[in-house]
């Protein structure tokens, strides 16, 4: 029972990070019907932005007011990734708005390689240690170990997901985003600045991935320029699991995938964690291609 609860907790923690990244995949897909395969790299860059900010302030060990510092680091990385997302959209995707989907896909893979190599050149190819900002200790006396970091990861992710729901359903910007997703031509006819809405969507999705990157770094304590690939693919799996294009689906998919992975790691073996994750992807594609909460997939005419 303890193992179960412990893995449940671990799974929800990493699942929250997957969910943050999955949101970016699903937002961009919803609005452009494209899979932004560079998104995992934006997440990875976010982790490195976080590392750089931590080092710049000399935060080498748990410090007093660690949570406040962490929030500051998160904000900085989110801002940096938002800018990066804007840049990628402007330079790599916007010129291809009318190009065949395959060209866009290949471009996305190109951007992904570019970012990996840029990070390798700037920060080095070896694993980088990310200092712990919060004390590593068990909270409470229970049988299950909850660390302060897990609490922060969960709280930050939850707040951001609620915030995103509010933006999408409660603001004019969100209304514009949904309009562009449902009918881009009609959106233009109504005077919605479609290019700007798309750019903002990239910025928001990238910022969330950046937050995910920082949380990932401080949780696992080491980061590598390769990290975006695997984690990005898993977050994509989460988005597909929940139903690509559907925001609550991405959140649910992320949490579920984290859970399944952690349970697989706990009950089978840690080496099987990735097998579980990608078996989920294959099963979803076979059994329910539109995902748990997705609408029926139909190519738009």
Partner 1 sequence: MAAAPDLLSVEDLHVRYGSVEVLKGISLKVRRGEIVALIGANGAGKSTALMAISGIVPASKGSIRFSGREIRSLPSEQRVSLGITQVPEGRRLFPRMTVKENLLIGATLRTDRSEIEKDLAWVLKLFPVLKKRSLQLAGTLSGGEQQMLALARGLMAKPTLLLLDEPSLGLAPKLIGEVFSLIRKIHEMGITLLLVEQNAYQALQVAQTAYVLETGTIALHGPAERLRQDPSVKRAYLGG
Return the sign of the alpha-carbon dihedral for residues 177, 165, 43, 282. Answer: negative
Under rule CB under 8 A, residue 193 binds partner 1: yes
Q: What is the spatial distance between Cα 294 and Cα 189, in angstroms, rounded to a whole number?
A: 27
Q: Residue 179 or residue 260: which is nearer to partner 1 going by CB? A: 179
Q: Residue 107 or residue 246: which is nearer to partner 1 going by CB? A: 246
- Min dist CB 299 to partner 1, Å, is 16
Q: Residue 188 or residue 290: which is nearer to partner 1 going by CB? A: 188
**Binding track, positions 159-188, relative to partner 1; x by CB under 8 A:** -------------x--xx-xx--xx-xxxx
- Min dist CB 31 to partner 1, Å, is 13
- Min dist CB 187 to partner 1, Å, is 8
Under rule CB under 8 A, residue 99 binds partner 1: no
Question: What are the angstrom distances between the C-alpha of 245 and each of 67, 250, 265, 292?
Answer: 33, 8, 29, 12
- Min dist CB 190 to partner 1, Å, is 5
Under rule CB under 8 A, residue 190 binds partner 1: yes
Site of interaction with partner 1 (CB under 8 A): 172, 175-176, 178-179, 182-183, 185-193
């Amino acid at each position: 029972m303890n193992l179960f609860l412990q893995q449940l907790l671990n799974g929800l923690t990493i699942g929250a990070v997957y969910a943050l990244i999955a949101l970016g995949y699903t937002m961009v897909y919803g609005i452009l019907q494209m899979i932004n395969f560079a998104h995992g790299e934006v997440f990875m860059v976010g982790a490195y932005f976080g590392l750089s900010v931590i080092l710049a302030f000399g935060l080498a060990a748990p410090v007093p007011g660690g949570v406040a510092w962490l929030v500051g680091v998160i904000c900085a990385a989110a801002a940096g990734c938002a800018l990066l997302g804007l840049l990628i959209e402007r330079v790599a995707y916007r010129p291809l708005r009318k190009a065949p989907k395959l060209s866009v896909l290949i471009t996305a893979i190109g951007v992904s390689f570019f970012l990996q190599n840029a990070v390798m050149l700037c920060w080095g190819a070896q694993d980088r240690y990310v200092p712990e900002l919060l004390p590593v200790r068990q909270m409470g006396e229970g049988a299950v170990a909850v660390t302060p970091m897990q609490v922060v990861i969960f709280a930050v992710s939850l707040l951001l997901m609620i915030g995103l729901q509010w933006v999408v359903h409660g603001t004019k910007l969100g209304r514009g985003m949904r309009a562009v997703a449902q009918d881009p031509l009609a959106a233009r006819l109504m005077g919605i600045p479609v290019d700007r809405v798309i750019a903002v969507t990239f910025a928001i999705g990238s910022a969330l991935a950046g937050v995910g990157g920082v949380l990932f770094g401080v949780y696992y304590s080491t980061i590598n320029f390769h990290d975006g690939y695997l984690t990005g693919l898993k977050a994509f799996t989460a988005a597909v699991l929940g139903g690509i294009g559907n925001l609550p689906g991405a959140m649910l998919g992320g949490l579920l995938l984290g859970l399944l992975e952690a349970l697989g790691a706990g009950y089978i073996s840690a080496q099987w964690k990735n097998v579980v994750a990608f078996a989920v992807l294959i099963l979803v594609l076979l059994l329910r291609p539109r995902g748990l909460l997705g609408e029926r997939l139909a190519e738009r005419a």
